Each structure stands twice: as structure tokens, then as C-alpha cells.
Amino acid sequence: MAQIFTDDFNSYTDGDLNTQGGWSGGTMFDIQGTIVQEGTKAVKAVLIAGGGQIAKVGSAVGTGDMSIYMRVASMPDDEKFYVQIKEGATMLMEVRFSDITGSKKIEYFAGGSWTNIQSWVVNTWYKINIQWQTSDNTFRVKVGSGSWTGWTGTESAFTNADTIQLLTQNNIEAYFDNIGAGDTTTSYTYSSSDILSLTDIFSVRVFFKKILTDSILLVETIRFSAMKFFVSIIDNISLQETLNKITKFKIQITETLQLNEIFSVSTKIWTFLTKNISTWTHQSKSTTPTWTHQSKSSSPTWTWKNKP
């Protein structure tokens, strides 16, 4: 991006800045080498009643930028210290250090009033970045590595900025140094084609909402299905266990019934035998092809008889 000019003051002679390097104005601005931001020289605003200004004309720049380092050593209450950008004699942009009832502010002039960017402390260098564009007569400001302000209208419409002016008010001790290119952030000129239509914005928002809704429904479906499947497994396991227990119980009942039936039949047979049969024989094979039998005696004991 183009600059009106750059100036580090290092080649200047100590003493009055006026008439050196194209600068023209009051005699309250001196070159000195004691307090500098870089190099060997910087500009000091000398303590003087009433203050004053000094300016330098450079290249005509429609869309451009600049940076300047500014520092305040002392400032009486309700006084200010400025850097200004002009087109000829027409004021376009202003940034200032102010101290109003103890409130120290770095401000820029926008929309007919001063807007605060941040506070400042004495004996500290601050890099002031300014960008401007003639396409819509706007500018913006950034202090150091902070954020850019929004684009705001210049004090007057312009074709090309071409002058940088330094201004100090009553009895201020302040310093300037290293006027150069602004921050490397690219300036951007807005056009209608860069702005989404309202329809596009709502379309994107609706589409995003639909994706979000579908995703939530999908998650809910997966969660519900997984839970249902889990419950189904638990139910099936419980049912299988129940069936296994029923089967075991059935087997136990069956076995018990069968055993009872056997005992019942055996008991009935024994009762019948003891009540209805007085004698019987029991045959068993002997070592010879003969048989022996056993018969019930009248006594409660048994005797064995060989076959006659």
C-alpha cells in the first residue's frame, strides 16, 4: 500500500526541524538524539505556551496507509497532541493523545466526535497505524498490535491525501519518530458483490439448521435403537433363563412323579403279595441242571429246600 512519505529523521541536524527534509511550520519542534524510538534521531515537541504545528507534503495517495510512533513525557490537564492527515489545507483524519481531567486517551475523530481507542501512559512509545481509501472516503486506526477500528468516514470527501501534520497544544513535552508504512494488514474496499444477500444468509442458516436437526435426529435414533437393542438382549436373556429354570423345574417334577409312581406301584405289589399269596417258589439256577425253590413257612423265617 502506498504512503505519502516515510521519514526516520536520522539524517537531520540537531535543532529546529523547520526547513529540514521538507518540513515547514512552527519552531517548537526540534531534532534531538536523547530519546528515540529507532536509529539516532527523533522529533521533540518543546515545552512552549500556545503550542503549534508543523507539516510536510509528500505524494498524493488515494488509497494508502501510514504509521508513526508517538510518546508523551508530560501533558497539562485538558491538553492534546495530534497527528493529522490532510489533502492540501483540507483536514481528513486526526488521531490524538488527550488528558482530560486525568483521563488519558488515544482517540480518533469520527462522525463529528472523538472516539476512544485505548488509554496511554507517560514515557511509552505507541505505534499509530492509519489506513484510508478514497473509494468511499473512509479510514480506520489501530494502535500497536491491537485491533483495527471500524471503517469510518473522513472529515471531508477527498481525492488524494498528500500532507502529514504534527500538532501540539499548550506546554506539552512529546516526541515523534519513524514515520513509515502502516500495518501489513491489507486494506479492503467493499463492494455489493462481496455482501451476501439476505436470501443467501437465510438459506445458509436454514441449511445449517437442517443439518444440525438431522444430526440430532440421527444421534437420537442411534441412541434409541441401541437402547432398544440392549433392552431386547436383556429381555431375551431373562426369558431364556426363565425357560431354563422352568425346564429344570419340570424335569424335577417329572422325576419326582415317576419316583413316586414307582414307590406306589411297588407298595401295591408288595401289599398284594403279602395279603393274597401264602406260598411261592423262587427258582434259581444251580450248578446242576436242577432248581431250588423257596417257600414261605408258617414262621416268620425262611427255609431253603432242595428239589426232591
Residues 219 and 86 in one domain: no
Residues 143 and 48 in one domain: yes
Residues 186 and 205 in one domain: no
In a domain, 57, yes or no: yes
Residues 206 and 238 in one domain: yes
Q: How many domains does the chain have?
A: 2
Question: Would the pLDDT of 287 be above 60?
Answer: no
pLDDT score at 185: 56
Residue ranges making up the domain that contains 216? 198-275
DSSP state of 2: B
Look at residues 57, 67, 64 and name the one whose alpha carbon lies nearest to residue 154.
64
Q: Indicate the residue among 148, 178, 194 that finishes a domain.
A: 194
Buried b (16+ CB within 10 A) or exposed e, 187-213: beeeeeeeeeeeeeeeeeeeeeeeeee
φ, ψ dihedrals at 243, nearest 5°: -65, -40
Question: Would the pLDDT of 265 be above 90?
Answer: no
| pLDDT, tens digit (0-9, with 9 covering 90-100), for 166-214 | 999 989 999 999 999 998 654 444 444 444 454 554 454 555 455 556 6
Q: What is the CATH number of the domain that holds 141?
A: 2.60.120.560
**Side chain identity at residue 108, one-letter code:** Y
CA distance linking residue 308 with residue 75, whole number of Å = 156
Q: Which set of grid coordinates corresponds to residue 218? A: 440421527
In a domain, 175, yes or no: yes
Residues 211 and 178 in one domain: no
Q: Indicate the residue among 155, 171, 194 that finishes a domain.
A: 194
CA distance linking residue 129 with residue 254, whole number of Å = 100
Q: Indicate the residue among 194, 226, 258 that finishes a domain.
A: 194
Give me the residue label for grid cell 444468509.
201
Residues 217 and 188 in one domain: no
